[in-house]
Amino acid sequence: MKRTKYMILALVLSIIALQANAQVSNGLYRALTNAQSARVAALGDMVLPMHDGDLQTVLFNPSSICPSMNNQISLSYVGDFKLGTHYGIAQYSHTFDKIGSFAATVQYNNYGTMQYASESGTTDGSTFNASDYVVVLGWGRELTDKWSIGANLKYVGVQYESGRAGALGVDVAATYWSYSNWAFTLAGRNIGRQLFIVNMQNDKKWLPFTLDFTASKKLNHLPLTIILGYRDITHWNKIYDDPLHLYDTYDPITGDYTTPSKTSQFFTNLGCHFVIGGELEIGKNLLLRVSYNYADHHNMDVPQKRTLVGLSAGFGVRIKAFQIDYAYSRSNIVGSPHFLSLRLDLSKF
């Protein structure tokens, strides 16, 4: 068993190292990077190092797939009513005694109806649709009472007006949890590339790969779990270079801009890698969640206006075999999505 464990972990790290050297871009396949369930969204779109049988966590962390998810169904809806975008996701998990636990996911993203327009902005009332979908088959296995591993095989399809594209990718992850309520997860997500493209342009063929490390600690004398994630380990620069210099200091007398020092840029970049969140249990049936993503705040906020961009929050309610989760993610100043998830354990009926 030990030899098998180390061989699998070595394979995982080798795949991650190969992908880290490839050209990466979100490009057409942003559907692979956004949270699609309420719990993950409320906790900052992190790779959650949880091992509590929640089917919502498997898309970002396949090593969380475990026997306690057997016969679970999860349904999620994501709506941004200002932007007119709507997402839907359905998941099911089943465990087989000898080969491990599996989780199947179907995800559909509808970006709404858009109008055709000329280069001058003139419209004639005709419209088109834009959407994409993701199909995922995940596998997870507990190697010991402290180690688990997992992988997702995924296909993503894109349909923008008459343009089509498709890509194939995998996620790999390993989780370690201790008897002192610490847990650690290393996950390489979106390892893969584009398969075909028709009537579209996409210079970046690789999927938006990220290598993430997350740690969590459940406090001993308080029902609070603190989660800290370091995202996108292989890419240091996370600062958006704004051509309008909104984050520089402008001198109205000379008309000059003062570029931030290298020290300031270093700590800004470092902060953009971290996400922090917490989950508080109130009794047995209520959970409160909150997180803060400094990268979203720095890159999407407007300096002239104080906002809560980067902050996400939500709650979960357990009702016998059901769990209902809600989250609100303040990801930009224009529109921010609402998340609603329903998890059902069929084994309890």
d(CA 42, CA 38): 6
Strands (E), 143-250: 147-160, 163-177, 182-198, 210-218, 224-230, 249-250
pLDDT at residue 124, as a whole number:
78
Radius of gyration of the chain from its Cα atoms, rounded to whole angstroms: 21
Percent of the chain past pLDDT 70, that is, above it, reads: 84
Residue 270, pLDDT > 70, answer yes
At 302, list the tokens: 């407007």
pLDDT at residue 24, as a whole number:
43
Cα angle for residues 42, 184, 147 (degrees, 5° grid):
125
Contact 346, 72 (CB under 8 A): yes
Mean pLDDT of 247-270: 72
At 166, list the tokens: 């498709």
Q: Could you tell me whether strands 311-319 and 338-345 are parallel, antiparallel, or unpaired per DSSP bridges?
A: unpaired
SS3 category, 12: helix
Domains and CATH numbers, the chain: 2-348 (2.40.160.40)
Residue 32, pLDDT > 50, answer yes
d(CA 283, CA 285): 6
SS3 category, 237: coil
pLDDT at residue 303, as a whole number:
64
Least confident piece of the model among 11-15, 43-47, 177-181, 234-238: 11-15
pLDDT tens-digit readout, 280-328: 999 889 999 999 999 888 777 666 666 778 899 999 999 988 999 999 9
Residue 11, pLDDT > 60, answer no
pLDDT at residue 342, as a whole number:
95
pLDDT at residue 293, as a whole number:
92
Mean pLDDT of 245-274: 73
Residue 99, pLDDT > 50, answer yes
pLDDT at residue 347, as a whole number:
84
Q: Which of 150-154, 269-273, 332-336 has the highest mean pLDDT?
A: 150-154
Note the pTM of the prediction, 2 decimals.
Answer: 0.85
- DSSP result, 29-65: -GGGTS--SHHHHHTTS------S--GGGTTT-GGG-
Mean pLDDT of 15-39: 67
pLDDT at residue 85, as a whole number:
80
Sorting pLDDT into bands at 50, 70 and 90, what band is 156? very high
Sorting pLDDT into bands at 50, 70 and 90, what band is 20? very low
pLDDT at residue 23, as a whole number:
41
Average of per-residue pLDDT values in the chain: 85
Residue 211, pLDDT > 70, answer yes
Residue 1, pLDDT > 60, answer no
SS3 category, 66: coil
At 235, list the tokens: 């890419």
Enumerate residues 6+ apart whose C-beta is below 8 A from 327: 38, 39, 41, 42, 289, 312, 313, 314, 338, 339
Sorting pLDDT into bands at 50, 70 and 90, what band is 4? very low
Give, for 266, the enclosing helix (H) or strand (E).
Answer: helix 262-273
pLDDT at residue 222, as a whole number:
93
